[in-house]
Every structure is written in C-alpha cells, then in structure tokens.
Structure 1
C-alpha cells in the first residue's frame, strides 16, 4: 500500500510500522503513481540527501578561477588566477599550498556563509588540480617569475601587494593591473617588493652606480645588467672574482637587488651553491635571478648544471623520495657567481660567463656599509627608470640591429640584444661585440692555462690545415711546447698512450675551435706509410665551414 508520508509503496513489516506511526496510508488502493510522480519523488529524494562539501566547494570555486594554466616547464603544477581583495593574483592549486585553501575557505565563507575545514578545502583543491591535469584541453603555458618578455613586450612584477606590474612596449611604459590577460606570474617567498622606478631620472644613474661599485669593464657590465631583464632568452652568467676586500659580496648583492630582490638587505640576496642537481634545481626554481657566493671550485658536473640553467635545459627530479618516479622540469635562469680565485675549466661555461675582476679596495678609498647602502637606495629608483627606458628603446630598434649583425658570438641573443642596449645607451654601432669578444678571449686564455690543448695543436699544425703524425712524435712535440710556454703540464697526458683520452675529454674545446682529431692504427709498412707498422697515428685537421670558405672566396 502507498504511504504518503514515506512516499513509497510499503509492504509487510514496513507497512505495519507505518500504520503504528500513524502515517497516511492509501488502504483502499485509490492512489495511482504516474511518471510525473516518480520523477518528482526522485527530485525530492535527491534534494533531501546531504550534499558532499567537497563537491559544493569544487563547484563554487570553478567559475572563480578566471585562468587555469598547467606549467609548461613542470607539467605537475597547476596555477590559477583568482580575485583577492579587489585585485587578481596567482595561486598554485596544491593541497600543500596554504594560500590556496586559505583563499577557498575565506571566499566560501564570505559568499556561502559556511565554514569549511582545511581538510575539506584541501580535498576540493586536490580535485580541481587533478581535473586540470587530466583535461586534454587544459592550456600549457610558461609561468613567469619577476620578468616576462612576450610578443615583443616586457612585463616586470614589482612585487606590490596590489599586484600591479610594469608593461614596457616600444611606444610607452605603463603601470597596469595584473589579470587573466597578462602573462601569468607567480610569486615565491624569494620575491621581495621592488622600489617604484622613477621614469624621469636625473643625470646618469648607471654611470654613478658603476663608480660606487668600482666595477671593472663598466660599459660591458652596464649592458650585461640591463640584458638580465630580458626573460626567456639565454644570457651569460655574471662572474665576480677578486681577493678579500674587493667588495665581491656587496657588488653581487646590489646587482641582484636591482634585477630581482629577495630582501632589503644584502645578506638576503646571496646564497651558497647547493650540493647536487636536485638541490640546485630547487634553489633556482624560486628566483628569476640567483646569486651564488664564495665559489672556490667549479667541477665538470657544476659547470654542466650552470650551462643548462643559463641556456634552458631539462632536469630530472624525483616525485617523492619514497618511490622511484621521476619527472622532467625545464629551467632557464639568470645566474651570478662570485669567489676569490675560482677557475672555469670547461669551454662551455667559459663561453657563457663574463668575468669581472674586482680589485682590492685601498684603505683610503674604503666606504662604510652605511654609505654604500644610502647611496644605493638613493640611486635605485632612478637606476630602474633608466634601465626600463633603455629597454623601451631596445624594443624599437632590435629588428634593425639584428639585420646589422651577421657574425654573432655563441650566445647569439646576447650578442644582438647587447648591441641594441649598447646603442640605446648612446654608443656607436658595432663596438659592443668587440667588448664582449675580448671578455670571452680572456676566459679562453685562462682555460688554456688549465688545458692547453688548443695552443698545443695549433703549434703542431703550424701553417698547415692538416697533419698526420705518430703518437710518440705528437706527444714529444706537445709536451715540449707546453713546457717551453709555461703551461701547467700536470693537465697533460703522462705518456703517448694517454693522448686519446685527453682528446676525448677535450672534445668541446676542439669543436669550439674547429679542430678535429682522429686516431687509427697503421696497417701499412714503413716504406709505404712512413710510420712504424701497428703504431698509433693521429690525424689533426682544421675544419673550415662551407660558409667560411665561400666568404673567403667572395672576399667577404
């Protein structure tokens, strides 16, 4: 029989219970259930069920996320743009991110007038993150720290509480609101607020600043400093080298405070070089520009890591230390290193670093830390204004500058933009590349001191472009030349049979200098070949590119 209270057809014991409870029972069987009644009952039943709070929060939050991006460089991370305190910000959808569930809890309470626990908010955030990662149509894009260079426009995050950012185009510089229409920025604990730039600077603050720092090669440094504001392209690392009392740490800290401050004090802006690749990646991830101090030795592994970070490379990271899952993370960062007497012994890093030799400051020229700090704080607004105005000029001339320069250094982007910056600072065309190439040559000279393979082989070749020589004779010529020229012989092979390994270890140097070395065993008689049978023979050859040969032929 139909029970109007329970809205269901009851039988047997359940019917007896309904009667005992005094429910309205259709004892005469006059009530007929229609499809309309069934659907209505389902709706009523669904409405009467308690709703899952995670479902409520997920549905509530979805329309509030005006932009959802899966990181292009780390596809395990999801970021969203949401409104907070009348402005937009970026938060990462992660259960471990306190800001994410704080936003959800407060926003839900303000709108729904309901208080949800951290666990409920965390579960809702975890669901939203999983949904974004699982959806094929989710947008993958670059997530920016501090600086973005997109579609010919430069954006700089001042780190202001209201999230206003600077936008630089070839026509103007404006302060705009952060929104879903701008490049996506994130902020880490290492992103400190920058001072407001003054776009009507007095005098030449760049010149005044390099004088305060007593910077060697000041014109190259000024270009290098400004180039660090160009995100998304490889720029050489800065190397500050000098003995105690040369103000390496102060100069390094001030450089970082101009580009990407991590705090208002010098000590907030430098860190020790981390041990291992995993820690290195973690250290780089939180800052656009990283300053590492007290570097004493750069081994092959460290050199390779720095090179990959400068040019943009992929690093492997473990998802959790409790399992073997790994994922790839891509990084391109701006880097500074300093130390007393560190040596760059790898050609890849030598080509990607500009070294500034800082001289020890004499006692009668020393300034107090307070004097330097006061002068820096006075200069910084004008300094930033001059830098941004220079970048605006660069955006207007870069296409023409690129047409002007056919022969570029290994770091081609720095060569082109460096020349544009140099011209924007009021210098003549073509001089910047000379400054830069001279700096790289000095690096290579230092590199040859630790591994003189190129001078040795140039000596063996002499005026010839190719020479075939027996191992014993080659070894004798190399060691004789290195000894007479004062090179460090401890880096040379100990015997002729060590030449092959030396050449293999130095392959990058050989490639960079267009020299090819091949090895074979002589299978002919001495009368035919001129070499001892079964002796090791090396062929040393200068490689002349097709383009170079054509240029020579055309007299270019």
Structure 2
C-alpha cells in the first residue's frame, strides 16, 4: 500500500461509491477501479520492481482493502464516463489511446489535450479500440463515398445520427439499417460505430436479456446489434429505455437487500433484413434507412474498403468534431428557431445546430426524421387490424364528428365494422376482451392522429370507468414539418466541410461509390 501511495497516486470514488485510483505512468495519468485488473497488475508490478519478488494474494487483498477504504472515506467524488462526457458547455471525447489523450470540443473549436488537463474522468474499457488523432479541417467526403446511400434523406438521417453520438446528453435515435441480403448493412453499421466508438467485436448478436444489454452499455458508447430478424417485446421496451435514458436494478451478489444499479443512455444501431411491425413506442425513436442490394459490379473487396476507411478516418473524425463544435455554438440559436419540436427534441436541436458543418440544409435532418415517422405510422395503420377497423368505422364521419364509447361498446362496434361478430377465427392481434382493447389503443393513438382520427381515453368520475372518445379530424395539417418547426434554408456560404461534388446526388445515385 505504501508503494502505491508513494507513486503519486490519487484515490477517489464515484457517486455510486465505487473506489477508483488515478496513477501516473509514462508522462500521463490513468484512471482505474481499485478492484480492477489493470490496477492490480500495476500494483503487483511496482512491488516486484521494488522488492524483486511477487506480491502474494493475501498481501494484495489487504492492500486493496485499505486503499478502497481511503478512496471511499477520504477521497473526492467524481463521475466516471465512457467515451463521451460534458462539462460547462464543452464536450470531451476519450480517444482511448495508450497516452490517454482526450479531445476537448468547445464553441470555438476542438483540441487534443492530455487526460490530466480534462475536468472529466473516463474509464478505460478493456475492449475499447483507440481512435486516430483527428485532423483539423477534416472532411467527411471520403467516408460518405464508402456508404451505399442512394437517397439524400438517408444521408441526412445517418449524418444527423452520427453527430448526435457526440452529444453528451440524450435522448438518442435508434439507427435501423434494413434491407435485403447483400445490401452492405453490416459494413455500414460497423463503419459508423468505428468512426466514433471503435471496439473489439463492434457488431454483436442480439442480447439475451436486459442484463446483457446494460453490461454492453456500460462497456461502450454505441451499441450495435447485427442481423436481427425481429425485435421481441422485452427488447423493444429495453431499447426505448436505453435510447431516452434508463437503468437496471438487481440484487447485489451475496446480499439480501442491497441493490446494484446500472444507468445508461446510448446511441444504438440495429441491422437486419426485416424487422416486422415495430411497436409504436420504439417506432417513435427510430431513424430507419433502407438499403438496396449491391450489384456485383458495384462491390469492392472488404479489405480494400477498410483500407480506404482507415486512411479517411482521421479526416472524417475531424469533420465530425467540427460539426459538434458548431452544435455547441449554435444550440441556443437553433432552439429559438424551432418552436415546434419532434420526439427526441434534444437530439433534433443538436443535429440541426450541427447541420451547416455536415453540408446539410436547415431543417433537413428533422424533415427526414418526420418522413421516417410518417412511414412507420402508415405501416402500423396498414398492418394492425384494430387500426384498420377504427378507420373503417369512422370513414363516413363528417369532419369534427365525435362519439364516446365504453371499451365494450367500442369493441363491438369494431367487430361490426370488420364483419367479425360471428367469425370463429379473428385476425392475429385482435383483442379478445374490452380490457385487451383498452391496452391496445394507446399504441395506436399517435399513428391514428396523423391519419386524422383522434382517439382519447377519458376517465368518467361519475360512473368510475374509462371511456374512449373518437373524433374525426385529428391533427392533420397541410403545412410541412420544416415550416412547422420554424427552420428555413440557410445561406449558401455556410457550406463548410466537403465540396458539393463529393456529396451523394439527389437525382443520380450512381455518383456514390458502393461498398
């Protein structure tokens, strides 16, 4: 223990009462858990260098116990972060390099600084891979050319999601890369993750439970799950919590009443051929990009693609950092210009504030996100039998007409509209009871509102039961989402990071080099 203290270490603890230590090594500082493997190896190493013999297990445990007590009861309290942190309006990116350098992003730009100059502390993940030193004045063009994106809307969504990963506070959209086999979904997902948060096994299989999901969130900044065929209900709910912020509480090992809590908010990537119908709450958080199969003449060897990516990575990272610095500078300005905000409002403001640095028009990211939401809502209306029955029931209602139903009466009316009263076999997912209908309707409210039908549950205090009010007219509007948000096209001189000729053409998809 004396050797550790004499080596210039500093003991501290996290708000969750986990003991940590800061050690000086090779001209830089490192932060490690007192009970972690890295510190135990370091402690055994300096003991061997001083004494010429190994540090035996019991002596090691005794030293760790004393150091842990000092950290908990005498040390300062600091939060520990994974890859990204925010402090006093600045953003800090951990490069995860052996010299523990950090990028400081401020409204005036960004710079690379040593860890001891950063006001935040990062955990060194065992499976984290280092980022390259970013280049000032970088460009995203070489990486964009590697992405098989055919639509301008897809480019806006991907870049908006990408710069959003550098926001220290969520919520974050869930980027869904869908398409037939051979469309490059896995390659695109791996590339986007590696741009900001490279890691061993960058793409992982579907987690088996919520515990596995939260362990992954604790170890990395971006969660990327590959080749999903469907999204189970429990996983859909867990991804929603992770996108907007949530935690996991479970009994701590070897205790009866103590609780171990893990809390996280993370950007997410999902890839798959077909996900089926997404639950409404998950759909509200999804930025979906549909990729098409690459023809044989459009393919490049994977080795060649990753060699090009590695060369372009420092430039691309510098360009993303430029955009993030712009976002910190313009956030208040853009917030005032957006009186109407979509779901994931904080991300939308951040992405729109960064838009000039990404060579995107004002309002383009939000417009693309709204278009995806509209498509997912239409999918829900086209595939959910209750939604179809509601639209059929109200098809002849005049504008502004409203009716009130009990759940039992509404279920009967819907069965009549669908000619199901005497049917022995009813559609899949059709509610069998009024209670089942009451649980199903809240998942349809948002999509139905966009289709011009407002469905609202109202508690009647007199009869002490929930009534359902249907009103024709909903929330339809002929005004575009961009107009509603208050955003307008920006001046042309704000195009910053890469020349227009390198952008994917809106009318000529062939201008983009494919994977």
After TM superposition, the score normalised by the length of structure 1 is 0.74
Q: Find the residue that maps to 2:374 and give its secondary structure.
A: helix
- For residue 30 of structure 2, what is the aligned residue in structure 1? 89
Residue in structure 2 matched with residue 439 of structure 1 by the alignment: 372
* Cα distance in structure 1, aligned partners of 2:21 and 2:472: 52
The number of equivalent residue pairs is: 462
> Paired residue for 2:281?
348
2:13 matched residue in structure 1: 69
Offset, 1:475: 3.6
* Match 1:499 to one of 434, 458, 474: 434
Counterpart among 423, 436, 446 of residue 356 in structure 2:
423
TM-superposed deviation, 1:143: 1.6
Distance 1:458 1:422, change over 3 A: farther
Gapped runs of 5+ residues in structure 2? Answer: 421-425, 478-485, 487-515
Gaps of 5+ in 1: 1-53, 524-535, 549-555
| Cα distance, 1:344–1:103 mapped onto 2, change above 3 Å | farther
Matched, 1:221 2:158: yes
Q: CA deviation at 1:198?
A: 1.9
C-alpha displacement at 1:471, in angstroms?
6.2
Deviation at 1:180, TM superposition (A): 6.7
CA distance in 1, matches of 2:401, 2:19: 56
Give 2:290's match in structure 1, choosing from 357, 360, 369.
357
Ranked by relative contact order (alpha carbons within 8 Å, sequence separation 6 or more), the top structure is 2
For residues 240 and 76 of structure 1, what CA distance do their matches in structure 2 show?
39
CA distance in 2, matches of 1:383, 1:290: 20
Alignment of 1:175-214 (within 5 A): 175-179=112-116, 181-201=118-138, 204-205=141-142, 207-211=144-148
Distance in structure 1 (CA, Å) of the matches to 2:461 and 2:435:
12
Contact 1:164–1:175 (Cα < 8 Å) also in 2: yes
Whole-angstrom distance in 1 between the partners of 2:127 and 2:401: 53
Deviation of 1:375 after TM superposition, in Å, equals 2.4
- Listed as ranges, the matches of 1:442-461 within 5 Å are 442-454=375-387, 456-457=389-390, 460=393
- Asked if residue 540 in structure 1 is aligned to residue 484 in structure 2, the reply is no
State the 1:480 CA deviation: 6.2
Contact 2:402 2:472 in 1 (8 A): no
Change in Cα spacing, 1:287 to 1:213, as seen in structure 2 (3 Å) is farther
Measured on the aligned residues, the alpha-carbon RMSD in Å equals 3.5
> Does 2:43 align with 1:104?
yes
Instruction: Provide closer, same or farther for how the CA distance between residues 537 and 281 of structure 1 changes in structure 2, counting only shifts above 3 A.
Output: closer
Q: Does 1:515 align with 2:455?
A: yes
- Residue 316 in structure 1 maps to residue 249 in structure 2: yes
Moved more, 115-124 or 335-344: 115-124
**Which residue in the other structure is 2:186 paired with?**
249
Tell me the residue number matched to 2:414.
478
User: 2:149 touches 2:291 (CA, 8 Å); kept in 1?
Assistant: no
Q: CA contact under 8 A between 1:345 and 1:451: conserved in structure 2?
A: no
- Whole-Å separation in 2 of the counterparts to 1:150 and 1:309: 22
Correspondence for 1:278: 211
Equivalent position of 1:152 in the other structure = 89
The answer for the alignment partner of 2:237 in structure 1 is 304
Matched residue, 1:381: 314
The whole-number CA distance in structure 2 between the counterparts of 1:521 and 1:178 is 60
1:473: how far off? 6.2
Note closer, same or farther for the CA distance 1:146–1:161 as it changes in structure 2 (3 Å cut): same
2:63 to 114, 117, 124: 124
In structure 2, distance between residues paired with 1:117 and 1:345: 55
